[in-house]
């Protein structure tokens, strides 16, 4: 002990020096080594990506060090390829990055859809699973799991439970009981057609928003052909938007525009979608306007693809009917539970009611969660999102640089 105490300063100094050498060695493994002229000095060249804030900090820290040279490459994509992606969202939205990563990270110049999926996913979950009591259970259970286990899925469940509770009050449903509280809005089972039609209308609105995001992504990616002539570009939004407008006008009892106006508003964009490839090549000044091969075969393929586009507009819209269908099925499933519990007799079996609530909440919650994710991926992400980005992984932290 006396020997250690008498050498403590040297031992601590040696330990610090060994840490510096070890850390610098970790950096050197990622660097290229070179000799500079006749000075016989070794230099290590590091090349990689950094965040803009980190670059500014590094430049400031090394400005007085004549042994450190930093070059910030402006034409980065030309030399190093596409930059990696580092998701950066407010704390409450970070758990939803899990859904984005499952589909694929956004490219560097692509909009991060995390906030979009967070808002739409939890909202649709609440519409399909509206129940005050079961919603509160989801909030409490999800919060506790996230608090102690740090599970992102638990945080998503907790936020979805908030919307479930909200729509439970809107539907007047608490633990499946439809006669305990008055609905703020309506009871789905008493307004079946209204529920289903509103679900389709809501889906049409989300598809239009997805098209707007696709146009923004096309502008950021500098793809004018995709922006103008894609089925989810300006041509698509005019065509689909005109159809949606006509449906709304018809449903609300307003007169429709003249047939010629409707035909032009729908037909001209469809022709632009049909000729997307040659029009894009012409706009981007490619040498070949039409793709190689027979022009007749091109038009045959383009017509088949156009038919698929028109069909997808209809099927994607109708697909949102499941949002309303699950709002109806929740009340229907709980009705079965109450029938089995003998609720109509006036003295229901509460054990059956409790077990039925647990079964319905677990089963329907799982199915609704999967169905909403399916709507996100297939009906919306497929219209505006590629997910071809690569993750930004820090090779080492700034703290490790030191000593040399």
Distance CA 117, CA 154 (A): 16
Report whether pLDDT(402) > 50.
no
Any residues with CB less than 8 A from the CB of 197 and at least 6 apart, and which?
A: 251, 324
Name the range with the highest mean pLDDT among 72-86, 199-213, 244-258. Answer: 199-213
pLDDT tops 70 at residue 39: no
Percent of the chain's residues with pLDDT above 90: 70
Q: Does 401 have pLDDT greater than 50? A: no
**Mind listing the pLDDT tens digit for each residue in 105-122?**
999 889 999 999 999 999
Instruction: Please work out, in degrees rounded to the nearest 5, the angle formed at the alpha carbon of residue 302 by the alpha carbons of 296 and 307.
Output: 130
For residues 175, 176, 182 and 183, what is the CA-based torsion angle, rounded to 10 degrees? 110
pLDDT digits (tens, 9 = 90+) for 385-394: 999 999 998 8
CA distance 154 to 96: 11
Q: What angle do CA 104, 390, 216 make, to 5 degrees?
A: 65
> How many Å apart are CA 130 and CA 187, to the nearest integer?
10
> CA–CA separation, 360 vs 363, rounded Å?
5
At residue 383, the 3 state secondary structure works out as: helix
Q: What's the whole-model pTM score?
A: 0.88
Q: Is the pLDDT of residue 400 over 60?
A: no
Lowest-confidence region among 178-182, 263-267, 355-359, 370-374 = 178-182
pLDDT score recorded for residue 250:
92
- Residue 35 pLDDT grade (very low, low, confident, very high; cuts 50, 70, 90): confident
The stretch 349-376 carries a mean pLDDT of 95
* Rounded average pLDDT over 364-377: 95
What number is the average pLDDT over the span 68-83? Answer: 77
Is it the case that residue 399 has pLDDT exceeding 70? no
Who's near 192: CB < 8 A, 6+ residues apart?
A: 328
Quick count: other Cβ atoms within 10 Å of Cβ 18?
11
């Amino acid at each position: 002990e006396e020997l250690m105490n008498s050498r403590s300063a040297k031992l601590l100094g040696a330990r610090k020096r060994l840490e510096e050498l070890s850390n610098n060695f970790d950096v050197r493994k990622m660097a290229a080594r070179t000799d500079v002229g006749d000075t016989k000095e070794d230099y290590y060249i590091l090349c990689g990506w950094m965040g803009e804030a980190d670059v500014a900090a590094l430049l400031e820290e090394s400005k007085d060090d004549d042994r450190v040279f930093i070059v910030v490459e402006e034409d980065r994509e030309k030399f190093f390829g596409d930059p990696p992606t580092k998701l950066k969202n407010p704390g409450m939205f970070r758990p939803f990055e899990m859904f984005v990563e499952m589909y694929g990270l956004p490219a560097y110049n692509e909009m991060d859809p995390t906030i979009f999926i967070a808002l739409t996913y939890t909202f649709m979950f609440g519409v399909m699973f509206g129940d005050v009591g079961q919603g509160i259970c989801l909030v409490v259970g999800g919060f506790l799991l996230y608090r102690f286990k740090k599970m992102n899925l638990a945080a998503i469940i907790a936020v979805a439970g908030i919307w479930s509770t909200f729509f439970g009050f809107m539907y007047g449903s608490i633990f499946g009981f439809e006669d305990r509280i008055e609905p703020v809005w309506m009871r789905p089972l008493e307004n079946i057609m209204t529920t289903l039609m509103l679900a389709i209308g809501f889906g049409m609105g989300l598809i239009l928003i997805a098209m707007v995001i696709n146009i923004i992504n096309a502008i950021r990616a500098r793809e004018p052909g995709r922006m103008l002539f894609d089925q989810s570009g300006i041509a698509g939004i005019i065509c689909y938007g005109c159809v949606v407008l006509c449906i709304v006008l018809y449903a609300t009892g307003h007169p429709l525009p003249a047939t010629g106006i409707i035909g032009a508003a729908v037909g001209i964009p469809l022709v632009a979608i049909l000729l997307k490839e040659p029009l894009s090549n012409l706009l981007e000044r490619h040498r070949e306007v039409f793709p190689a091969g027979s022009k007749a075969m091109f038009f045959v393929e383009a017509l088949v693809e156009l038919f698929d586009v028109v069909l997808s507009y209809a099927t994607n819209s109708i697909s949102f009917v499941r949002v309303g269908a699950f709002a109806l099925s929740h009340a229907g499933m709980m009705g079965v539970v109450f029938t089995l519990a003998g609720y109509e007799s006036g003295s229901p079996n509460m054990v059956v009611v409790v077990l039925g609530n647990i079964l319905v909440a677990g089963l329907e919650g799982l199915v609704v969660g999967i169905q909403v994710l399916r709507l996100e991926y297939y009906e919306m992400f497929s219209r505006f999102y590629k997910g071809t980005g690569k993750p930004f992984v820090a090779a080492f932290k700034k703290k490790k640089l030191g000593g040399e």
